[in-house]
Structure formats: C-alpha cells, structure tokens
Structure 1
C-alpha cells in the first residue's frame, strides 16, 4: 500500500510562438493574421526563485532531509549516505552553481524526505521552464509508506506477516494514516502557496493506493520521472520485498466485510479502478479512464517540443493546439 499525492503550481507564462512558415507569410501578405501559437508556455520564474521558495516552504513545515537536486541533467546534490538534516547542504550546492543555473533552465527536480508519526514520505518538485498550456509549470509528487507495513531488511515472510497483519487488517488504523497523509499534503500546499504568493497552488490528489500483487514484478521497475504515474518513493527507495507487502495488503483488504473506496494500481502505478468496484479482483474495471494520456508510460508533460519553434511545425499531439487550423483565442498565461 502506498499513500500518493500531487500538487499543481501554476505560474504566469508567455505564449511560445513558432517561426512563421511560407504559408503564414503568404496569408500575412494578403492581410490575414496567422495563428503562430504552439500550445506551450514559457514560465516567468527563475530557478533561484523556485529553490528559495521551496527552502522557505520546507522550513516552515519542518522538513530538513534532502535527497537530490538536479537541474538540466546536472546533479548538483545527491545524498548517497542518508545523512540527516542536510537540506542546508542542498541549498549551498545550488548557490555555488547559481551563476550557471540561477536564471534560465529547462528542467529542475528537487527531492526531500520526511518521517512523521509512522509515515515515511518522499516529496519531489519538478519544474519546467516550457510546458504545455494545460499543464502547470511546477508539479509536486508526494509518495509515502506506512512504516508498520514496510518489510525490514533481513525480515522473513512469517515475521513480517505477524508484525504487519494487525495494522493491515484494521480499517480504522489505515484511515488514520490516510487522514494524516492528506493533512500533510495540505500543509505542503499551504507552505508553497505562502512562499509563492503570485502562484495558484492546488492539490490534485491525496489518496491511498492498493497495489495489485504481481509475481512477475517482484522488483518494481525504475520509472521515468516524467511519467504520469511516477512514484518518487520507488525511484529513491526501491524495495525487492515490496511484493510481500503488496500481497499482504491485498489479502487483508479483500478479507474485510466491505472494501473501502481506495484506488487500485498495478506495480507501475497505473490506475486499475477502485477496491469497491465489482470485478476488480479479476482485473481492471470500467472505472479506469481509458484516455491515452492517462497511462503512466506517457509523459506527464506531454510532448517535449513545442513544434521546435521552427519551420518543421507539428512534431507531436500538443503541437496541433497551435496550428493554423486550431482557431480560438486561449489568452496568455496560466491564470
């Protein structure tokens, strides 16, 4: 079982326009106004502003343990030793390189971890300077585990079952952890909102997710951080014993008189339906959104390019939003 949340941070942005093509110039010569929009925005925020806002927000809610900071594929900080209270070291590493990354950047990833009353949580902020119009410039992904349900190194299956089963079969205990996690997600949202007063910060989800056991996926695959269903906890803390926890929780859930309305996912965090859906034991149910962009194999950010701003034009689905045939006036910025 995992606790999974996401927060969207919308900041103002400017429309990215593509280079006029021959047909655009031809129409302009006859008084027409070609639509050069690409469907992408360029966020009006710098790396320094993001990092400093995150620093202020994390300090406000008592998060002090850093994991990593990566900007444009350059690793500026990575805690390989599990050193506690090293958030200050991460910010020092950034400021040592602020002359290079302080202003313009393509992609920024900042990850921290936090333990609180039986929960271990990993929080990763991802930001892109250019992004599709219907995506925020910044997303924050939160993933937590209940420590009482997490297998320990060297623990055999029977010892794990005896230790974890009382919690796994207690709906009230699970509900307490769910509420605790939802409250934590709200605290992160409020702290980020206070640190970025001109941004619009929204919780997209904060929910428990039950993983359908899969013997073929004893060791969960490493996800691409761009994936829609990206789980930062699995990325930084892969656990070869996760299958045991998944199997225990799955059995406990369906031994209850009534199943809670919890999201069911596969080992790669693809949504399968809900635990109280008829037929969920047999496989994915009709409650799953079948939209192509709802799979964890697709990039959460959509196409990486905004039509390359050049003469070649449409390179992906997102680029059709800014084609001459799209029509409409979307305005400017996320607001």
Structure 2
C-alpha cells in the first residue's frame, strides 16, 4: 500500500501516509468465521499531500481510487485513500473526525512530528454539538435503510446481516452521542463505555445498547436472528434514538422540541455551522437540490430522516432511495 501511494504521489509532494479508522486506533473489528480470524472494517488511509487539497484531489484522486480497488481483493476488505494536507488539518476547526484521526493512527510514511500544530484537535471536550448531530444523522440513516429492508417482501440472510450491522452501529452511536453532549467523548470505544457508566443520566438501557454495539465493533458476527426479532429490536432502538436526537437538537439549536413533528415543522437553520457562501456555491454548482439557496442540503435530509423514521408516515422505497442518493453526498 505504501509502495503504491509512493508510486502515484511524487516524494516532493508526499508529506505523510497514515492508517486511520478503527485499525489505526487499534480497535478494528475481527470476524471469526469458519475457524479463522479475518479483518472486518474498511482500511482507511490518509494521504497527506503538500499544496491545495482541491487541486490534489483532481490530480491524484482517481489514481488512488484505482489503487484501492486493486488492493482490496488481496486485503480481503475495502481499501480507501483520502487526500488531505497537513496545512489544512492544522487550520481546520475541531471535529470528531479529526480528533479521532489525530488521537489514533499508525504512520506508514512520516512520524508524530507531522502533527505539530494540530494540538487543538486533541481535546474531545471541544468537539461541537453539530458533530454529534452528524454522527446520529448517519447512524439513524442506517436505521432508516434497515427499516426499508425489514419491510421488503423477501428477506434473506444478507438482509438480516445488513439490518443487524446497522442496529449495532446505532447502538454504539447512541452512547457516543450522549457522551459528546456531556463533553466526555473519547477516541477509544472501550474508554467511552467506561465513561458512559460514570456519566449521570445514562440509563441502564443505554448502557446495555452501548455494550452490545462495542462488542459488535470489536468482534463482529453475522446475525442469526429472524426478521421478527430484528424488527422488535429496530423498534426499541429507533424509539431511544428519537429521544436522544430530540434532546441533542433541543440543546444544539436552543429550541424546545418535544416530538418529531416539532422538528420537521421547525424553520430554524439546522446547519448554522455551514457558512452562507458555501451553501450558495453548492446550490449554484448542483442544480435541483431540494433545500433553499441559503440552506445546506443536509438540513433537508435531517427533516426527511425524522419525518420518515419517527412521525409515523410510511417511508416509500422510492423516497428512501432518493434520500440515500443525497445522503451519499452530504453525510
């Protein structure tokens, strides 16, 4: 992998190469199947390239994507390369994504000295609430996609595996969001669970879900549960997710949101962290987006997620597919 990247990026431009994600943090999943252990999660590499990330994306993204596709079969899982510059990382605001990267990684090219100037990414208590919203938005989108699978006429073992995997991700995320709301997030899922036990207000049900989500993250397995069992778990988890989501958004937006319908009808800007110029530019560049010119497209997706998942309306498969397409761009 290192040789492949070095063959694409000139040494004069390559600043560093780091393995991130669960394996970079030493907490990647191990699937035990057929008497053998094998990796489960994606391999996520950050390729630090000197200069403009926008220009470097246009110059190297396609080649790195092809490299990842060529390496994935041998690795036995998806290999992904993301382009970034150290300069951009140093000047970027605090986020959960960059916190996890800086705090947990393994260098293939470079060493810890490259993260000098990134100290502001090391304090989890500085992670803003909109980062928790983004995490919950993604994991609850998984619940929406799972509900669509559960409603199909046919339901096979692959569908069950898809549903079980997304339920487990949501279980872990609910506790992680609760910790972020209380300024206690940590890069390690084991440490997060320890902190959750000590955090006031964490219910026994939330602790149980987080423990199950952590167990799946570290030692994933294909589910053997029936559609009925998974549907029951989905209903329970979705209800808890709704409660935490409304608590989070009430706190983040400083608006009282008692039920899902209140959120959908609320006209407040739900993505105030995104600058106005960026919203306008996105709409000018991508015609036909459903949100207003001055609003970030994720706001429309947040409203649709809440409407389809928690207001009691029937989420038509076509509507879920349209949602999934936009979610792939603005998650």
Fold conserved between structures, TM > 0.5: no
Q: Normalized against structure 1, the TM-score is what?
A: 0.28
Q: Computing the radius of gyration over CA atoms, which structure comes out larger, 1 or 2? A: 1
Q: Normalized against structure 2, the TM-score is what?
A: 0.28
* Greater share of strand: 1
